Amino acid sequence: MSERSTVDKTASPAGAASLPLAGQRVVEFTHMVMGPAVGAILAELGAEVIRIEPLGGDSTRNLPGSGAGYFPMYNRNKKSLCLDLKSPEGLAIARRLCGSADVVVENFRAGTMDKLGLGYEALSADNPRLVYCSEKGFLSGPYENRTALDEVTQMMGGLAYMTGPPGRPLRAGTSVIDVTGGMFGVIAILAALEQRHATGRGQKVSSALFETTVYLVGQHMAQMAVTGQPAKPMPIRISAWAIYDVFETADGEQVFVGIVSDGLWQKFCEAFGWAAEAADPAYKTNVQRVAQREALLPRVRELFKTYRREQLVAILERTGLPFAPIGKPEEMFDDPHLAANGSLAPTTLPDGRETRLPILPIEMDGRRPTQGGTLARVGEHCDEILTGLGLAPGEIADLRTRKVVG
């Protein structure tokens, strides 16, 4: 619990009290994915996260197509308060709420929050213990005022180049930079909260899409530094291992198999009856097998085509080889491993339908630190939050009538 605030912090959802961030209040001014991802992680770890939405709700709630999953995935376990931030009274409520916060998260364009009077300088003057996280397209520098999206920085930072075949840059198949940038934001927040124990003061922290992308392609930059040769796009890369590819099975399915050590090569040969190959000096080491890849890979492809996928998977699992049937996102709903370890939390969608969505992929003390998957309705917690700020029911009703809150 914050040592600073005298404003009542309303109760977090059931189960949150035993989680590591219980007692921390987070006020979130965000949209789309990157900013909401920060709040989603903090909420799942037990923080009380209050999502400030415009009257009528965040437009992210209603995105079609590939954006339809953004809101339910990254806004669970949060409280919803709708405010008209263009009105003096709405802004006053926002500032008062931020005065009770341990953390503020925002991901609007540079300068937007300052113009509203909700920037770090203004809020920290009233609340010096505040940790203020800005999620941006670019960190400080020549590009800082550019508009960026996940896909923009994947293209700009080299990730799209590395993902697609030559001449066909291809974005990754999920919002990997938005989410990873959000994770870096959480790391910065947790570091700032820890530092606050020593200094008694908060600070402004930031993470950004472009720098996140460059961090992820850093291994390819390091490869260039070590070898003197630029990294080639992944579809035509020179693999470090002879057998490290996707193979077709007899029933038209696909399985990835990687043999990344000499010991695994011996296990592979034993499992599939390749005694002669196991004893062949030309295949003794990985370097030697890589030199023989053009002859070796077609033989492995023919071997695997004699098995149905379930047969091949059973052999590979017994052998301990790295492998993966090629899965699709919709198949994860029925994955037996995820079902057994509780990786999917029940979630009620805005239209009332029930589903299950992934929780944080971590364990703490052998348990999954999570409080489920509640998704707030538009403005659901308005009365609760404003009452906690000391407003009387009549005042709240008047503000709602005048469309200051919702």
What residue ranges in 3-47 does DSSP mark as E strands? Answer: 25-29
- For the cut 70, the answer to whether the pLDDT of residue 37 exceeds it is yes
CA distance 27 to 16: 17
Q: With contact defined as beta carbons under 8 Å apart, do 371 and 15 qualify?
A: yes
Confidence bin at 12 (pLDDT 50/70/90): very low
The average confidence (pLDDT) of the chain is 94
H or E segment and range at residue 221: helix 218-227
Report the CATH number of the 16-216+343-401 domain. Answer: 3.40.50.10540
DSSP state at residue 19? S
- For the cut 50, the answer to whether the pLDDT of residue 2 exceeds it is no
Confidence bin at 317 (pLDDT 50/70/90): very high
Identify the bridge partners of residue 133 per DSSP, sorted by sequence position. 105, 205
Can you tell me the mean pLDDT for 271-284?
A: 96
Three-state SS for 158?
coil
- For the cut 90, the answer to whether the pLDDT of residue 373 exceeds it is no
How many of the other CB atoms lie within 10 Å of CB of 172? 16
Report the CATH number of the 239-328 domain. Answer: 3.30.1540.10
Residue 201 is predicted with a pLDDT of: 98
CB-facing half-sphere around the CA of 186: CA atoms within 13 A: 21
CA distances from 197 to 2, 73, 193, 339 (A): 11, 32, 7, 39
Here the tokens at position 196 are: 């606050």
Q: Say which residues have a Cβ less than 8 Å from residue 37's Cβ, sequence separation at least 6.
A: 74, 178, 179, 181, 182, 183, 185
Percent of the chain with pLDDT over 70: 96
Instruction: State residue 257 phi and psi, 5-degree precision.
Output: -135, 135
From 114, 178, 245, 383, the catalytic residue: 178
Can you tell me the mean pLDDT for 80-90?
A: 97
Helices (H), ranges, 65-208: 70-74, 88-99, 112-116, 120-126, 150-157, 159-163, 176-199
Confidence bin at 18 (pLDDT 50/70/90): confident
CA distances from 37 to 184, 246, 281 (A): 10, 32, 52
Can you tell me the mean pLDDT for 35-46?
A: 97
- For the cut 60, the answer to whether the pLDDT of residue 42 exceeds it is yes
Confidence bin at 10 (pLDDT 50/70/90): very low
Amino acid found at 164: G
Can you tell me the mean pLDDT for 169-190?
A: 98
Amino acid found at 331: E
Q: What is the pLDDT of residues 188-199, one digit of tens each?
A: 999 999 999 999
Amino acid found at 53: E
Q: What is the pLDDT of residues 387-406, one digit of tens each?
A: 999 999 999 999 999 999 99
Q: What is the pLDDT of residues 103-144, one digit of tens each?
A: 999 999 999 999 999 999 999 999 999 999 999 999 999 999
Can you tell me the mean pLDDT for 354-372?
A: 91
Furthest-apart CA pair in the chain: how many Å?
A: 86
* Domain ranges (residues) in the chain: 16-216+343-401, 239-328
Three-state SS for 244?
strand
DSSP state at residue 228? S
Percent of the chain with pLDDT over 90: 91
Confidence bin at 229 (pLDDT 50/70/90): very high
Q: Say which residues have a Cβ less than 8 Å from residue 243's Cβ, sequence separation at least 6.
A: 257, 258, 259, 265, 268, 289, 296, 297, 300
* C-alpha angle 367-371-373 in degrees, rounded to nearest 5: 120
178 part of the active site: yes
Residue 165 is predicted with a pLDDT of: 95
The crossing angle, in degrees rounded to 10, of helices 176-199 and 209-216 is: 100
Residue 8 is predicted with a pLDDT of: 46
DSSP state at residue 375? B
Residue 17 is predicted with a pLDDT of: 64
Residue 370 is predicted with a pLDDT of: 81
Would you say how long the chain is, in residues?
406
Nearest Cα to 132, choosing from 201, 215, 60?
201
Residue 16 is predicted with a pLDDT of: 59
Instruction: State residue 147 phi and psi, 5-degree precision.
Output: -85, 135
Confidence bin at 14 (pLDDT 50/70/90): very low
Can you tell me the mean pLDDT for 163-190?
A: 97
Residue 6 is predicted with a pLDDT of: 39
Can you tell me the mean pLDDT for 208-235?
A: 96
121, burial (CB in 10 Å: exposed 0-12, middle 13-18, buried 19+): exposed
